[in-house]
Chain A
Amino acid sequence: MDINLIIFASLAFVMIVAALFAVTSSRIMRATTELLFVLFGTAGLYFMLHYTFLGAAQITVYAGGIVVMFIFVVLLIGKGSVDVTQTSLRRYLAGTAVALTGMVAAIYLINTTDFQAVNFTGDGVEMKELGMTLMGTGKYDFILPFEVMSVLLLACTVGAIMIARKK
């Protein structure tokens, strides 16, 4: 048995279990923590794909930034108000049914579709190549989306401050 498969299986197991807890846990703090496991698992997957920078970004931005924000807001709002009551049974069943059906359909499609995948080479992405692509102006280069991203982030920062600011 391939070591990679074992790693993958354990990662997948952890992620799915953590995800399930994240969406069913009645305590918001726990749910946030479970989310953190999912995000770490994802970072692990990126590392397995040799996308080390992506994995690092995942850990710093997601696990480090976003989850902290979650915890921050949960703590800010207070435990009493963060009361995770479950929804009505009807909606619960409807949601489960639709989500399950969707999942089954998606898995079925994934299994029956030929992705024409080439063999996985395991070549990572060199940082230099990544930097050139992000900043390059040629074909298949991403300077414009990159700049747009930066503007978006700026706008979000300003917007978030505006919204959250006390009147």
Chain B
Amino acid sequence: MEYTILILILPLLSFLLLGLAGKIMPHKVAGTIGTLTLVAVTALSYYAAIEYFAAGRDASGVFAETMPYNFHWLPLGDTLCIDMGILISPISAMMLIVISTVSLMVHIYSLGYMEGERGFQRYYAFLSLFTFSMLGLVVATNIFQMYVFWELVGVSSYLLIGFYYTKPAAIAASKKAFIVTRFADLFFLIGILIYGYYTGTYSFTPQTDVLATAGAVLPTALLLMFIGGAGKSAMFPLHIWLPDAMEGPTPVSALIHAATMVVAGVYLVARMFPLFIGYAPEVLHIIAYVGAFTALYAAIVACVQTDIKRVLAFSTISQIAFMMVALGVCTSADPHEGGLGYMASMFHLFTHAMFKGLLFLGAGSIIHAVHSNEKSHMGGLRKYMPVTHITFLIACLAIAGIPPFSGFFSKDEILVACYNFSTPMGVFMSIVAAMTAFYMFRLYYLIFWGKSHYEEQLALYERGACDHEPHKPHESPARMTIPLIILAAITCVAGFIPFGEFISSNGRAYTIHIDKGVATASIILAAAGIALATIMYMKGESRITAKINQVLRTPIKAAYHRFYMDEVWMFITKKIIFKGISAPIAWFDRHIVDGSLDLLAKTAQKAGALIRPMQSGNVQTYSIWFLAGVLLISAILFFL
């Protein structure tokens, strides 16, 4: 499978070409280069995945991991070394498919969405860079390579969020995203260092005999790595960057902040899963609790946001938390005995990437049409944008967990895994799932149903109350709708993929079977959520909605402000670190450290000034001192 190297090299070349020569390129050429590269990458990824799975299982009934490339990149001491290479395993093959598919869709979509934007070539260059780094991350042969690409992913996310670099909000958001994830990466790095020191290797599969002694510190290392993952995957309380990251272009949000990069944390935990399950099951449970809390928190916040991208952002946080929970509730490596969550998590990752990508691209299409992110500027769009409407609805149904759309299957597996772990966890996650259905349909109704903002404005204009004719919403061009349709199609059928055949916690084949009880319950709950949303929002904001808003004013306000988590972080960074630590240190340096040196210099100067008059140049004075000195010395010599 030597050709897999091309999967990495092609986007890198595309990045270099577009980055260096982009300025002299017409937009069309740049877009074409970027997109064609991605077509090739996608084809190669599918080919690699198919070839890999088609090769079949080995004697022990698992898909053998292959490493077509692995070379020493940077030696860290006599035994440790950072290697660079390509590792194809079931999950990395699956990730290749996810990333290349979504990325290709985004590339095509952006041809329309970003048309005529200043910096179009730069945009495609960054997309290529991101694709390169994300692919490098998933095919990493060792934890350090993963970290290397992890950082690259972070920086491409930074560059893309800050794409509109003249917008202050985008600048702040990109900075925030980078610094928050960087902060989390610090723990990741320390985790890696501990891991490397005690196991003597950075590879994912250390020697068993080493693990026997290193086992005691592994939980610490793995917990620290999880914190790194939590940063990238926006787990509470490190989630604050993700909603702000929506300042970037919408296709970027679809690619990076919905489908691929944010699941890197999940992928990391999945990668290290054998170690987690073998040596640190208690850390897995911590992950489960953190995930469950995040899922609930994000779902509540998503229910009251008015910016449609923010709703999607919180929904992403919540869904990723589902995947984390699924991994966290695993109690054994055997999918039949408590290891189901692993498969469920990966399955959900796969389906979520597709339908969340679709949602974001749909949202992009809407924003493209109405030139606003705010729900108040939307409403009644279904007749203006039929394709967007239908695909968006499909995605909403999928995320809400309605069969036969893909989300139902993966979420069902997660819920089953949760019930297997403990009933409270199952119930808790089911409620969050119902909330998912509610807020997604709230969003759906607010956008596509209710009173049309356009029509209201038009009426105002015709009555003369408004001086400019409102912009009529229109369906997006084919370059944008085709990716929507493709993703919608995948969303419809992905649920029927026998996912367990390819990926499971111990690598052996596992046949998915729907647990009827859990499935029924979750469908009912989802339907209830949808029904509630229908009542409240189908005809605009009904009286019931107003009443509820009135009664729950304070909690809604708190939820709208994301329970003031951003303010807490702001307080820590601005007030404590910036004003409380950094500024005093700078002052201390200038005035105390430097001041004491200056004082030394001043003292020397003063002392000089003090004895300078003695060098008066007056020979008489000199001679008086001279004679006095002679007498003194004589006296000393004489009396001693």
Contact = CB atoms under 8 A, between A and B. Distances in A.
A and B touch in the complex (CB under 8 A): yes
B624 A101 contact: no
B620 A98 contact: no
Contacts, number: 19
Mostly helix, strand, loop or mixed at chain A's interface? Answer: helix
A65 interface: no
Contacts of A69: none
B572 interface: no
Contacts of A98: 624, 627-628, 631
Interface in A92-141: 94-95, 98-99, 101-102, 105
Contacts of A91: 620-621, 624
B620 to A, nearest CB: 7
Interface in A61-100: 87, 91, 94-95, 98-99
A102 B631 contact: yes
A105 B631 CA distance: 8
Mostly helix, strand, loop or mixed at chain B's interface? Answer: helix
A95 B631 contact: no
A95 B625 CA distance: 10
A105 B635 CA distance: 9
Interface size class of A (residues with CB under 8 A): under 10
Contacts of B372: none
Nearest to A101: B631
Contacts of B635: 105
B231 to A, nearest CB: 79
B603 interface: no
A150 B620 CA distance: 31
B542 interface: no
B624 A94 contact: yes
B634 interface: yes
Interface in B581-628: 620-621, 624, 627-628
Nearest to A104: B631
A101 B629 CA distance: 12
Nearest to B620: A91
Interface of A: 87, 91, 94-95, 98-99, 101-102, 105
Given A91-B624, A105-B634, 17 more contacts: A87-B620, A91-B620, A91-B621, A94-B624, A95-B620, A95-B624, A98-B624, A98-B627, A98-B628, A98-B631, A99-B627, A101-B631, A102-B627, A102-B630, A102-B631, A105-B631, A105-B635
Sorted nearest first, the 4 A-B pairs with minimum C-beta distance are A98-B627, A98-B628, A98-B624, A101-B631
15 contacts: A91-B620, A91-B621, A91-B624, A95-B620, A95-B624, A98-B624, A98-B627, A98-B628, A99-B627, A101-B631, A102-B630, A102-B631, A105-B631, A105-B634, A105-B635
